[in-house]
């Protein structure tokens, strides 16, 4: 750790980071990175700590003085401002961010992604503290190409689908498609952070993650989350594979996504943390444009990889089609395609993703199998016994 320097060759001084949402998927990986590889301190704020308990237990005393957990709901806790004041930098990850909630709990979604983030922005601005705010690739909504006729040659032109921070429009569906409640709330908080920068000098960076995936993402229904819960696609498909049931393809699985390994993405966040002069006032896409698949292709690849890592043959009918109304309910809609433009992050931070989709699925599904296979077997045998 000694002698660490930033991208301009200047020594990196240890800082204190107030990380809100530190107990979630991204937060847990960021806490690990900061504890394992840097001298920085973390004030970890969340309502849950299960995903970082390995960093908080006495056995990990090595960094006991560098990470503190604060069980705080930022909706209503006066301790938040004090923690932001104690820190040099605040990173806000807290949000409701699973699509199954956007159309079924639109009020909670809007409050969580906009209203609850307001005091965080205000305290940073008023106290002259730097903020890294987590937004989403969903702010782009649908691509321009999605509105062209299916056979239009322009659909092949990157100008109609590659998503650029400083050029692409944000295209959402109608209000009755409540899916867009999340994207719209995230867009408004981005605009507010940006305006605080422009009018009041807030030092900020906005991150737009493009489908970061890896170990500890969401939950397996009935094992470490509610039986009826619907997590994001990686956990849905993992759950199906663990239970040896067909993977459900929503509306034919035609939507396209680019997936990035969480560990590659965390490298980018660390560069933002340690290079404020290069990261401030920027909005960054963080994704892997080389890992594009349709959801159907993702299902096929996960089936193959899971078979390899578990040693179990795949089932006879590996996928089934399901309508979005059946799967998510009324008001669901979808982003058609998400390819991040990487020009700005390349120029400012020299960062590039490394891990291929196959490799990241192999390490992630090895983790899922090791962590859950036995528990799923036991849960299933109990249900059959009843």
Ligand X SMILES: O=c1ccn([C@@H]2O[C@H](COP(=O)(O)OP(=O)(O)O[C@H]3OC[C@@H](O)[C@H](O)[C@H]3O)[C@@H](O)[C@H]2O)c(=O)[nH]1
- The residues assigned a catalytic role are 182
302 is written with which tokens? 């996960």
Q: At closest approach, how far in Å is the CB of 20 from ligand NAD? A: 6
73 is written with which tokens? 């709901």
- 260: three-class secondary structure by DSSP: strand
Q: Which does 255 bind (CB under 5 to 8 A by kind): ligand X, ligand NAD, none?
A: ligand X
Binding part of the chain for ligand NAD, among 61-69, 132-140, 195-203, 373-381 by CB under 6 A, reads 132-140
Interface mask (CB under 6 A) for ligand X, residues 81-120, using x and -? ----------------x-x---------------------
CA–CA separation, 20 and 81 (whole Å): 12
In this structure, the dihedral spanned by the alpha carbons of residues 372, 375, 376 and 377, taken in order and rounded to 10 degrees, is 120
What residues numbered 134-163 form the site for ligand X, per CB under 6 A?
136-138
CA–CA separation, 240 and 263 (whole Å): 24
Nearest Cα residue to 255 out of 211, 219, 220: 211
Residue 275: count of CB within 10 angstroms of its CB = 19
Q: At closest approach, how far in Å is the CB of 320 from ligand X? A: 10
What are the backbone angles phi and psi of residue 106, rounded to the nearest 5°?
Answer: -65, -35
Interface mask (CB under 6 A) for ligand NAD, residues 51-90, using x and -? ----------------------xxx---------------
Q: Which of 4, 36, 47, 370 binds ligand NAD (CB under 6 A)?
A: 47
Q: Are the beta carbons of 88 and 15 closer than 8 angstroms?
A: yes
The helix or strand, by DSSP H or E, that contains position 133, with its residue range, turns out to be: strand 130-134
Please give the DSSP secondary-structure letter assigned to residue 23: T
Task: Verify binding: residue 231, ligand NAD, rule CB under 6 A.
Answer: no
Judging by DSSP bridges, how do beta strands 16-20 and 339-340 pair with one another? unpaired
Which residue is associated with the tokens 């509105």? 147
Binding part of the chain for ligand X, among 66-74, 86-94, 144-152, 244-252 by CB under 6 A, reads 244-252
Task: Verify binding: residue 30, ligand X, rule CB under 6 A.
Answer: no
Nearest Cα residue to 118 out of 79, 74, 78, 180: 74
Measured from the CB atom, is 176 or 245 closer to ligand X? 245
Q: Which does 73 bind (CB under 5 to 8 A by kind): ligand X, ligand NAD, none?
A: ligand NAD
Task: Verify binding: residue 26, ligand NAD, rule CB under 6 A.
Answer: yes
Q: Which does 27 bind (CB under 5 to 8 A by kind): ligand X, ligand NAD, none?
A: ligand NAD
What residues numbered 188-227 form the site for ligand NAD, per CB under 6 A?
209, 211-212
Q: Are the beta carbons of 325 and 332 closer than 8 angstroms?
A: yes
Using CB under 6 A as the binding criterion, the count of chain residues that bind ligand X stands at: 17
Task: Verify binding: residue 38, ligand NAD, rule CB under 6 A.
Answer: no
Query: What residue number has its CB nearest to ligand NAD?
Result: 24
Q: Which does 295 bind (CB under 5 to 8 A by kind): ligand X, ligand NAD, none?
A: ligand X
Q: Which of 232, 278, 308, 354 binds ligand X (CB under 6 A)?
A: 232
Q: Which of 15, 55, 89, 93 binds ligand NAD (CB under 6 A)?
A: 93
CA–CA separation, 282 and 197 (whole Å): 10
Q: Which of 44, 94, 305, 361 binds ligand NAD (CB under 6 A)?
A: 94
Write the CA distances from 249 to 4, 319, 327, 385, integer angstroms: 46, 7, 9, 30
Q: Are the beta carbons of 348 and 283 closer than 8 angstroms?
A: no
């Amino acid at each position: 750790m000694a002698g660490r320097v930033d991208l301009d060759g200047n020594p990196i001084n240890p800082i204190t980071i107030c990380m809100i949402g530190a107990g979630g998927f991204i937060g847990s990986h960021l806490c690990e990175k900061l504890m394992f590889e840097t001298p920085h301190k973390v004030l970890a704020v969340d309502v849950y700590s299960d995903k970082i308990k390995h960093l908080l237990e006495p056995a990990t005393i090595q960094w006991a003085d560098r990470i503190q957990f604060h069980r705080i709901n930022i909706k209503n806790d006066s301790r938040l401002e004090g923690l932001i004041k104690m820190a040099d930098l605040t990173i806000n990850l807290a949000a409701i961010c699973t699509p199954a909630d956007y159309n079924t709990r639109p009020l909670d979604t809007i409050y969580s992604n906009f209203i609850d983030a307001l005091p965080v922005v205000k305290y940073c601005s008023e106290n002259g503290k730097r903020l890294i705010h987590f937004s989403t690739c969903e702010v782009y909504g649908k691509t321009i190409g999605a509105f062209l006729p299916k056979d239009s040659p322009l659909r092949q032109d990157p100008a109609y689908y590659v998503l650029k921070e400083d050029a692409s429009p944000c295209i959402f569906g109608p209000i009755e498609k409540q899916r867009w409640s999340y994207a719209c709330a995230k867009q408004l908080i981005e605009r507010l952070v940006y305006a605080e920068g422009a009018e009041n000098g807030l030092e900020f960076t906005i991150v737009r993650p493009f489908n970061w995936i890896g170990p500890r993402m969401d939950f397996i229904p009935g094992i470490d989350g509610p039986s009826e819960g619907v997590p994001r696609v990686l956990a849905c498909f993992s759950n199906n594979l663990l239970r040896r049931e067909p993977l459900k393809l929503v509306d034919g699985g035609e939507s396209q996504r680019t997936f990035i390994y969480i560990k590659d993405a965390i490298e980018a966040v660390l560069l933002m943390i340690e290079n404020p002069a290069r990261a401030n006032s920027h909005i960054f896409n963080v994704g892997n444009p080389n890992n594009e698949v349709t959801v159907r292709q993702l299902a096929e690849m996960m089936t193959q990889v899971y078979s390899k890592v578990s040693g179990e043959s795949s089932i006879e009918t590996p996928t089934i089609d399901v309508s979005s109304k059946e799967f998510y309910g009324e008001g669901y809609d979808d982003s058609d395609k998400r390819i991040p433009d990487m020009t700005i992050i390349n120029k400012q931070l020299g960062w590039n993703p490394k891990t291929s989709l196959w490799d990241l699925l192999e390490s992630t599904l090895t983790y899922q199998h090791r962590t859950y296979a036995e528990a799923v077997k036991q849960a299933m045998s109990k249900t059959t016994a009843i």
